[in-house]
Amino acid sequence: VSARFQTAVCDLLGIEHPILQSGMGRIAGPELVAKVCNAGGLGILAGLHLPPAELRRQIAQVRALTERPFGVNLWLHEALQPPTPVATLDERELAAVQAVLNRFRERLGAPAVHARPAPVPDLIDEAFEVILEERVPVFSVGLGDPERERSDRCHERGIRVIAMAATVADAKILEASGVDAIVAQGAEAGGHRSTWIKPATRDAACIGTIALVPQVVDSVRVPVIAAGGIVDGRGLVAALALGAQAVMLGTRFVATQESMAPAFFKQALLERNSDQTLVTDVYTGLYARGLRNRFAEEYEASRTGVLPPLVQSNAAQDVYAAALRKGDGDYYPMLAGQACGSIADTPSAADVVRAIMAEAERVRA
């Protein structure tokens, strides 16, 4: 592969190819991350909800598998910072949510629940200290603003900071916080919409990648990484044409051998078309794009509200666990983007990186 895809982001992050694999909770573990790094991209470990000792152990595992730079992703959303609003939950709201979830529990053979969900664990500060102590090469932020202080503390240790925004206004805030590069997340993207305050509607902060990326490029001085709907070399070349200096892929890497996604999730990605995703807050209380399933459709149809951000996912945790045990994708959040319709195989993550670069070479020949 020639050096013509070597961009400023490659130099910044110390990588060969301008391809980043996004941190994805319960999907991007050490094996996936190291595979992407060894193939010349940047693998990013999912740090969300990991207790500090476990995060440290997984960082060590990545280091045992690759000598190349890698990233660790955290959400910095306000919902993860105390106080969690569990004690003050409205009894009627909670009863309504549990009534919907109990329908699902019954079908899964799980016991009914009426109790308050567990509070959201307060792990962010400790996880961030682990990232600093371990001098992780790249700190990747989703759903949050690291603010000047966190960026400075990373830079003092030679850690690069990248953060994800879904609007031009948020991209400017991240730039003012001193991040080294901004991920512009288009509406096509799988997973949560990257905002740090829950938007009023599911359509807010949902701008298509092709509209968003050039606007962000024109609005900030730091390099921009395009995310949302990109799965192949055509997508990479298109993103570069829009002014991005790299791409970040999530959905494509879910359907790889090294991904920790359950088999039914990978299989669903092969089968689903691009019109079978939706943006909904019923899974976690925050808006996220995932594959349509009975959980989302029946919950939405019930017109029941959702509990506060991440309290909703805590309430449904036992439903997801039961669905996982049964291999039942109808009651498990399968977060994925609109590009799912382009995914037809489950290769090694290294082959994904190689195929994207080979195709990009041909497209730009």
Ligand X SMILES: Cc1cc2nc3c(=O)[nH]c(=O)nc-3n(C[C@H](O)[C@H](O)[C@H](O)COP(=O)(O)O)c2cc1C
List contacts with ligand X (CB under 6 A).
22-25, 27, 46, 48, 73, 75, 142, 164, 185, 188-191, 227-230, 248-252, 254, 335-337, 339
Q: From CA 9, how far away is CA 247, in angstroms rounded?
A: 10
Burial class of residue 326, CB neighbours in 10 A (0-12, 13-18, 19+)? middle
CB-wise, 68 or 252, nearer to ligand X?
Answer: 252
C-alpha distance across the termini of the chain, in Å: 12
Smallest distance, ligand X to C-beta of residue 24, A: 3
Smallest distance, ligand X to C-beta of residue 52, A: 17
CA–CA–CA angle 128, 185, 207 (5° rounding):
140
Q: From CA 16, how far away is CA 37, in angstroms rounded?
A: 9
CB-wise, 49 or 105, nearer to ligand X?
Answer: 49
CB-wise, 43 or 190, nearer to ligand X?
Answer: 190
Cβ–Cβ < 8 Å for 250, 359: no
CB-wise, 189 or 268, nearer to ligand X?
Answer: 189
- Residues constituting the chain: 365
DSSP assignment of 9-50: HHHHHT-SSSEEEPP-TTT--HHHHHHHHHTTSEEEEE-TT-
Cβ–Cβ < 8 Å for 19, 236: yes
CB-wise, 137 or 228, nearer to ligand X?
Answer: 228
Smallest distance, ligand X to C-beta of residue 22, A: 3
Smallest distance, ligand X to C-beta of residue 228, A: 4
Beta bridge partners of 142: 75
Smallest distance, ligand X to C-beta of residue 141, A: 7
Smallest distance, ligand X to C-beta of residue 206, A: 12
CB-wise, 23 or 262, nearer to ligand X?
Answer: 23
